[in-house]
A = this chain, B = another copy of it.
């Protein structure tokens, strides 16, 4: 096998987390990595774009779980990343097991492979500096080091982990030996760190040879190692995964291994760990406000307003975070933004749905929003992505009226197939086999669906054929 960078450097993107401090924008089924918080790309898409400059699509892998599979597939498709590069964790077990699994898979594929591990939900700008840092780290990894990227700290952040470095590995090396990792220190300590210049933010980005990380995992967490090597080939991962103890890669390996080194990096980085952190990234106006909303303010200072659906009026506020979504509203003093998790815990505890779904539900073919749900009728706004179609299906108990409000639909209803254009409608009687399709290559299709019947739950659907194997 040809041994050049392009072929044996892999990216492994961790995309299985929820990011519950971003509630109500993030939900269990709409996690932080899928949010478009700073551009029209999701954080995951931005992460892929970043590494794709250096690593070809076929070498980019993503670790996630079953719930996020269709959304991940949609995002990966546009980059030409094959489905086989998606690893599904049966259960979240923190970072070490996920990384070990990917390392083992890539090692079996190529004993000489290296991997760069990246969180999917961070923000990095100054991409050139990022690429350079990765290149330097990659060279160091080839020498047998476990390499971390340490970001030169810009201000006294208490919410981050820090890396304390020792000397350079050698006078000519770009890498430093690592003394220790410090998890979320107090403000006084952090201020001291900034003066000493040998403390860096732990970016959570790591580069190493798969052979090296696996041998360190074997050394420091042999129980995890033995479980991981039993996964390939073809073992029942679900059973194995159940027995694994959750543990982070930092705690399991990096804080113990003698092989750890660090490349300092000067790119702008944030883990966007809270609404407060996001506000710090977004551009303030002259009153330090960030108004990402249809809004009007009187005399407020240092507030973030985030709303897509509703007019928001703010008067005389200070240091607040306001996040408005169709079914839940958050109003939070900024220094409480780390505590948003408490709200999610409350909702879980009460068995409510506001922490699981949005009103808008994503599907592999697009999405729908329930506009009204009454006893004997339901109104949905359904959006079908270009070139996508729903399954060929029928409903036992409900009829459907579709009014096309944007784009053109190709509708199958019994033996008839016809185009239904904007401002036209069609009726699908109960029991009739039908299919809805967006034949356009670039325009979305939107329909208003009025369902009528005595039983209107989502489970009244019999799929006969489906592009997404849900039959």
Contact = CB atoms under 8 A, between A and B. Distances in A.
Nearest to A23: B313
Interface string A140-163: 000000000000000000000000
Interface in A332-380: 332-333, 335-337, 339-340, 342-343, 346-347, 352, 354, 369, 371-372, 374, 376-377, 379
Contacts of A324: 329
A333 B313 contact: no
Contact of A24 (B313, B329, B452): B313
Given A316-B336, A324-B329, A336-B315, A401 B403 contact: yes
Nearest to A350: B296
B296 A316 contact: no
Given A346-B296, A371-B372, A423-B399, A312 B329 contact: yes
A381 B423 CA distance: 18
Contacts of A23: 313
Contacts of A329: 307, 310-313, 322, 324, 329
Interface in A421-451: 422-423, 425, 427, 446, 448, 450
Contacts of A354: 311
B298 A313 contact: no
B336 A376 contact: no
Size range of the chain A interface in the assembly: 35 or more
A333 B307 contact: no
Interface in A305-336: 307, 310-318, 320, 322, 324, 326-333, 335-336
Given A327-B311, A331-B320, A379-B379, A342 B452 contact: no
How many copies of this chain does one complex carry?
2
A288 interface: no
Nearest to A332: B315
Given A316-B333, A322-B331, A336-B299, A379 B381 contact: yes
Contact of A343 (B296, B320, B405): B296
A343 B298 contact: yes
B450 A403 contact: yes
A406 interface: yes
Contact of A405 (B330, B352, B374): B374
Contacts of A343: 296, 298, 313, 315
A313 B296 contact: no
A371 B406 CA distance: 17
B399 A377 contact: no
B346 A332 contact: no
Interface in A229-278: none
A141 to B, nearest CB: 42
Nearest to A296: B346
Contacts of A342: 298, 315
Instruction: With a 10 A CB-CB cut-off, give which of A23, A313, A450 has the most chain B CB atoms.
Output: A313
A356 to B, nearest CB: 13
Interface of A: 23-24, 296, 298-299, 307, 310-318, 320, 322, 324, 326-333, 335-337, 339-340, 342-343, 346-347, 352, 354, 369, 371-372, 374, 376-377, 379, 381, 399, 401, 403, 405-406, 422-423, 425, 427, 446, 448, 450, 452
20 contacts: A298-B342, A299-B336, A311-B327, A312-B328, A313-B329, A313-B330, A313-B346, A314-B332, A315-B339, A317-B320, A318-B333, A322-B329, A322-B331, A329-B329, A331-B331, A371-B372, A374-B405, A401-B425, A423-B452, A425-B425
Given A401-B403, A448-B450, 19 more contacts: A23-B313, A24-B313, A298-B339, A311-B352, A313-B331, A315-B342, A317-B333, A318-B333, A322-B331, A329-B329, A331-B331, A369-B372, A371-B371, A372-B448, A377-B406, A379-B379, A403-B403, A423-B452, A425-B425
Which 5 pairs from chain A and chain B are nearest by CB?
Answer: A316-B333, A316-B336, A377-B405, A315-B336, A371-B371
